[in-house]
Amino acid sequence: MTITEAVTAAYLRATGKATPPTSGGSKYNEIVALLDFYQRRWAREPEVDWNSLYDPAFSIGTVTATDSFDLDTSSIRKLSDREGDYVRIMWTDGTGYTDYTIVDADKLKDYFSGQNKENYKGFYCAQIGKQLVFNHTFASTDSQYGGDIQVPCYTFPDEITSTSPDSDEVQVDDPDWLVTRVAAEFVRNDITRRQRYPELLSEANEIMDRMKADNGSQVDETDRNWTPFSGIDHGGWN
């Protein structure tokens, strides 16, 4: 379903009118803003990680002489905690790579010696605030230096704006949930139609329950682009 189709469908569900409001008008912009808000809220639905938003190798930049790298939290909702998922640094030779086990922030200190990280035990990293922090500081002599840092994560959907192209697609697994939830919120703010709010909200909640059930049934069948073995170097030790 395109954004334009979603606007039309939400307005129809809310008002019974098949002709949507004029693009750029106040009602049109209100619906677009609601579509964006609830699509992003869907991505944050409690106790569920949507398979459709999973990226096994989201690039956050290249390795430099530090131990900490920024995570774009406007794009990344959370790092994956799936079994077998690791942060991977692809070396500049295009062949070798190093996999880092993701640990809890308060456990990272267990994998290096001394406050200055003089040496380290294996390959580990953790998300601390809005940064990915490794258990050692990289040097220009390291095989990983200059390599691409790829994190397994769950992302946010693309933003919906009033200038989104007609071809842009709704990213919610079942677009009917977004249409119905937006229609419910639209009528809640309309004194002449707010009596329909409970009905539409209940319908949206039913669709959400089905989406969660479908998402859960797909977990074991998810096709990962790569499956590392463990937090080790694949190409030789430094």
How do the domains of the chain map onto residue ranges? Answer: 3-48+158-220, 60-156+226-234
- The residues near 61 (Cβ < 8 Å, ≥ 6 apart) are 69, 70, 148, 149
Return the pLDDT at 120: 78
What average pLDDT does this structure show over 207-233?
A: 68
- The residues near 58 (Cβ < 8 Å, ≥ 6 apart) are 75, 76, 150, 151, 152, 153, 155
Q: Write out pLDDT tens, residues 61-113.
A: 999 999 999 999 999 999 998 889 999 999 999 999 999 999 999 999 999 86
Return the pLDDT at 235: 58
Phi, psi of 76 (to 5 degrees): -100, 120
d(CA 41, CA 2): 18
pLDDT band at 167 (very low <50, low <70, confident <90, very high): confident
Q: What is the pTM for the complete model shown?
A: 0.85
Quick one: tokens of 211?
A: 């989406």
- State yes or no: pLDDT of 224 exceeds 50: no
